Amino acid sequence: MPKPIVYILDPYHPDAVTALQNNPSIDVVLKNDPRRDNWHADATGLMIRSETRITPTDLAQAKKLKVIVKQGVGVDNIDLSSAKDHGVVVCNTPALNSESVAELTLTLALSIARRISEVDRRVRRGEMVVRSQTLGQSLYQKAIGIIGMGNIGKVVARKWIGAMDGRIVAYDPFAAPDAWTDIPHRRVQALEELLDVSDVVSLHVPLTDSTRSMIGKPQFERMKNNAILLNCARGGIVDEAALTDALTTKKIYGAALDAMDVEPPTIEAYEELLQNQNLIMTPHIGASTMENQIKSGLAVVETLIAVLEGEDVPNRVF
């Protein structure tokens, strides 16, 4: 029988690529291979990341496709309904990104609070920075409101307590009543209650119909004037026009986005938003540490091989 053909459509760490190539029972087509654009013809498996979108048209054309494995948690770039209709297994790598995304979350919170990027830009422009006129704010013993206390949200909570001796306000309507018993926290039943009391608001939810634009003008009106908004989850959760207005009018202290509507972000798409010095924007790099890319990439390879060999895997989306 012919070997299954696996296409690597997005960048993967060399260790993961080598691990797949070392499997003698699989043919591998790399990202830079000219055959990549014609993967629909003979692909048995796909390894993707957020860069590639798998549409209903793709799935209808890919007659031999059996499995798609995406590095990371979110699978909103895959048409899951069409995949199910065509009998294609979809898997992800949940929990593996938690530490690296949580690290970036705290990094961004501190950078906004202490105006790090703003001051750095001013120094690079040769400006005189008067310290008494460039005061930041301390996050010591402040409250972070975590929207979505899943794998990443829980790690953020633990790091916040350890680093800031801070308080946790948690909102997650889908979690069990007895969730997070090992983490000191205050659980709220309404998003508005979290916004009213949080010094930092951090998003850790998937993009769904219920979370799309869940942070917009009414929510910014509820937030404290010194509040910091962090989105290390998915673009679309924050109404970016409302955020632009909130930053420009100093309705909130600042914001940091590692996920946005347009990815990768461009000057053309975000010219107005980027005028705000109290904003940091990074191009979806929450998972981008060397350690995490190796671990996650190898997990993708292991999952893909297991599915092709007929094994059941715990990280199957459906």
Sequential DSSP letters for 57-87: HHHHH-TT--EEEESSS--TTB-HHHHHHTT
Q: Which residues are catalytic?
A: 234, 263, 284
Task: Band the pLDDT of 81: cuts 50, 70, 90.
Answer: very high
Indicate whether 139 and 194 sit together in one domain: yes
Q: 3-state class of 114 per DSSP?
A: coil
Indicate whether 189 and 141 sit together in one domain: yes
Quote the number of domains for the chain: 2
Indicate whether 106 and 206 sit together in one domain: yes
| Mean pLDDT in residue range 78-100 | 95
Indicate whether 241 and 269 sit together in one domain: yes
Indicate whether 185 and 152 sit together in one domain: yes
Sheet holding 67-70, edge to edge: 27-29, 5-8, 45-48, 67-70, 89-91
CA 37 and chain centroid, separation: 26
Residue 279 pLDDT more than 80? yes
Structure confidence at residue 73 (pLDDT): 86
Task: Answer whether residue 177 is part of any domain.
Answer: yes
Indicate whether 103 and 92 sit together in one domain: no
Structure confidence at residue 147 (pLDDT): 98
Structure confidence at residue 74 (pLDDT): 85
pTM: 0.88
3-state secondary structure 139-160: CCCCEEEEECCCHHHHHHHHHH
Q: Which amino acid is at 49?
A: R
Domain that holds residue 29: 5-96+291-308
Task: State the burial class of residue 274 (Cβ atoms within 10 Å of its Cβ: 0-12, 13-18, 19+).
Answer: middle
Indicate whether 22 and 37 sit together in one domain: yes
CATH number of the structural domain spanning residue 228? 3.40.50.720
Residue 1 pLDDT more than 90? no
Structure confidence at residue 134 (pLDDT): 95
d(CA 240, CA 19): 41
Task: Answer whether residue 205 is part of any domain.
Answer: yes
List, for residues 146-181, the tens digit of each pLDDT value: 999 999 999 999 999 999 999 999 999 999 999 999
